[in-house]
Amino acid sequence: MMRQNPNPCALGATGDAAAFASIEISDEDRIAVLSESTKDALAKGSQKKELLHKFIAAKKAFLEDAKHIDTANKTNLEERLNSTIPKSKSTLKGFKNHDLSVKIVELLELCQILQNQYSQVGTRETRGNSKISLIKELLDLGDKVDQRVRFNIQNSESDPLLKGVMLSQAQRERSFSQSRVPSDTAIHMCIFCSHCSINEPIENTTLVESNQANINSHQVANGVWIKYQNDLKKASSGIQVAKPEHPQTRNGMTRAPRYPNVSSPILQCHCTMSKCAQEGTNVGSSCPIKCVANADTGERYPFENGICTCPMCCCCCSKAYNVSDMQRIGLKIMQVEQSKIEKDPPEVATSEFMSRMMGASIESANNMWERKQKEQQAHGTKNPGEEDLLNEQQVQDFFNADLAGNIL
Ligand SMILES: [Zn+2]
Ligand SMILES: [Zn+2]
Ligand SMILES: [Zn+2]
Ligand SMILES: [Zn+2]
């Protein structure tokens, strides 16, 4: 397997694949989502107002803190807090849902800076600090908004390969777990963002089991059909051989049983849920690489303006895809990138990206699927005899070895 770097993930995604996955979320997108007043809206108007009331109440304390903590960063934090947090509750009186959302989105970046500053220098308040929990409340809402925006963007993708597999809410909320990294290194890296933040969702386990169960029962039925075929051959002319009964459905069999549809396992990228909580510590971090830039020295990616620059913390990829689609997705991404380059003459070298996409790693993960599918197709179209049973045995062995063994 070709790898340009022994640990590409420690360096983060580079080039076009990274650009492909990093959906830029604008404040307009955030405001639109936060202003929704549908049944599943993230926050009601009254909740937003209540949240802003809390900021108004804490405004003085925030401004006081900003004076002390922002001397080196030159973020105009005090000034910005002063102009962003409304003066009094009465200011909000005429605010519509949209205006409240604008205010909250404006506060997001400032709260990010405050959170980081507090984590470094602390606050004068102690545990259960209302300022810290208030900031957290707003940032948590911000995270949910970003997730919803990305989900909407992903949903609007018209190409099914690029759209990927749609996940349930519970699946989307999971973060990266070392124990769910695929054992096959060829599929460690996300095909969209090139980060090693791929996990196999727990649902793959039941999927492999049910695939196996389907294959097993097909084998039994196929055995019955083959026996019938042999009995036909052996029977002397004029003797009727009764058509067999399908062992599961109990219906009369008129043809060889169809090979069952085998579903592909899913791979899920967890970049969007990967974040470190504060600078210089792993406490509370869900980042797969723990923001380490150089695995040898343990050096971390720096924080800038209170925000971690780690490529995985910054990456908002939330793609999930079928293992069986990897090769086709790779080609699709290449086509999209290529058409961009043709429109927009190259400044960025794409050779690295191309060679990676063409790389053996993707092929190895897909060969088994291609082979299996071909065998499956061949099987479904012809009447099985002894050879077919052999083929099928091979498919199953293949399946057992590669799927159940390698992937899970
Ligand atoms: Zn990523
Ligand atoms: Zn990804
Ligand atoms: Zn980080
Ligand atoms: Zn990180």
Q: What string of DSSP letters covers 150-206?
A: HHHHHHH---HHHH-PPPPHHHHT----GGGS-S-GGG-S-TTT--S-EE--THHHH
C-alpha count within 13 angstroms, C-beta hemisphere, residue 135: 21
Structure token pair of residue 80:
């910005």
The predicted structure's pLDDT at residue 260: 87
Can you name the residues that pair with 322 across neighbouring β-strands?
266
Count Cβ neighbours within 10 Å for each residue of 105-133 and write b for 16 or more, e otherwise: bebbbbbbbbbbbbbeeebeeeeeeebbe
Among 145, 164, 162, 154, which Cα is nearest to 23's? 154
In a domain, 294, yes or no: no
CB contact at 8 A, 318 and 271: yes
Show which of 156, 189, 223 is a domain's final residue: 156
The contacts of residue 109 (CB under 8 Å, 6+ apart) are none
- Cα of 272 from ligand 3 centre, angstroms: 12
In a domain, 335, yes or no: yes
CB contact at 8 A, 20 and 72: no
- Cα of 229 from ligand 1 centre, angstroms: 54
- Cα of 194 from ligand 2 centre, angstroms: 6
253 sits in the region (left: phi over 0; alpha: psi -120 to 50; else beta) called beta
CB contact at 8 A, 62 and 70: no
Distance CA(323)–CA(102), nearest Å, equals 41
- Cα of 309 from ligand 3 centre, angstroms: 6
- Cα of 145 from ligand 2 centre, angstroms: 19
The number of folded domains in the chain is: 2
Domain that holds residue 384: 165-274+315-408
Judgement on whether residues 196 and 131 belong to the same structural domain of the protein: no
Structure token pair of residue 323:
């293992």
- Cα of 290 from ligand 4 centre, angstroms: 5
Judgement on whether residues 97 and 177 belong to the same structural domain of the protein: no
Judgement on whether residues 206 and 135 belong to the same structural domain of the protein: no
- Cα of 84 from ligand 4 centre, angstroms: 29
Judgement on whether residues 335 and 232 belong to the same structural domain of the protein: yes
75 sits in the region (left: phi over 0; alpha: psi -120 to 50; else beta) called alpha
Judgement on whether residues 127 and 243 belong to the same structural domain of the protein: no
In a domain, 4, yes or no: no
- Cα of 315 from ligand 1 centre, angstroms: 5
Among 172, 132, 134, 177, which Cα is nearest to 152's? 172
- Cα of 270 from ligand 3 centre, angstroms: 14
In a domain, 282, yes or no: no
- Cα of 314 from ligand 1 centre, angstroms: 8
- Cα of 151 from ligand 4 centre, angstroms: 22
- Cα of 312 from ligand 2 centre, angstroms: 9
206 CB burial (10 A radius; 0-12, 13-18, 19+): exposed
- Max Cα distance, the chain (Å): 103
- Cα of 61 from ligand 3 centre, angstroms: 28
Show which of 108, 127, 156 is a domain's final residue: 156
Judgement on whether residues 135 and 207 belong to the same structural domain of the protein: no
Judgement on whether residues 251 and 347 belong to the same structural domain of the protein: yes
pTM beyond 0.85, yes or no: no
- Cα of 302 from ligand 4 centre, angstroms: 10
The contacts of residue 57 (CB under 8 Å, 6+ apart) are none
The predicted structure's pLDDT at residue 14: 44
Tens digit of pLDDT per residue, the chain (408 long)? 333 333 344 444 444 444 555 567 889 999 999 999 888 889 999 999 999 999 999 999 999 888 877 556 566 888 899 999 999 999 898 899 999 999 999 999 899 888 877 877 666 655 556 888 899 999 999 989 988 888 888 778 888 899 899 888 888 889 899 999 999 999 999 999 999 999 999 999 888 888 899 999 999 999 999 999 999 888 877 788 888 999 988 899 999 999 888 888 999 999 988 888 888 888 889 999 999 999 899 999 998 877 889 999 988 888 999 999 999 999 998 888 888 777 765 554 455 555 555 454 444 444 545 554 555 555 544 443 333 333 444 444 444 444 433 443
Q: Tell me if residue 348 falls in helix, strand or coil.
A: coil
Indicate the pairing of strand 299-300 with strand 303-304.
Answer: unpaired
Judgement on whether residues 172 and 235 belong to the same structural domain of the protein: yes
Judgement on whether residues 123 and 208 belong to the same structural domain of the protein: no
Give the C-alpha distances (Å, rounded to integers) separating 228 from 217, 219, 225, 247, 389.
17, 14, 5, 13, 14
The predicted structure's pLDDT at residue 226: 95
- DSSP one-letter code for 252: B
Distance CA(267)–CA(45), nearest Å, equals 37
Show which of 156, 181, 205 is a domain's final residue: 156
Q: What is the number of residues in the chain?
A: 408
In the chain, helix, strand, coil percent, each to 5? 55, 5, 40
Among 20, 31, 33, 311, which Cα is nearest to 151's? 33
Judgement on whether residues 259 and 408 belong to the same structural domain of the protein: yes
In a domain, 287, yes or no: no
Judgement on whether residues 366 and 398 belong to the same structural domain of the protein: yes
Judgement on whether residues 181 and 51 belong to the same structural domain of the protein: no
- DSSP one-letter code for 2: -
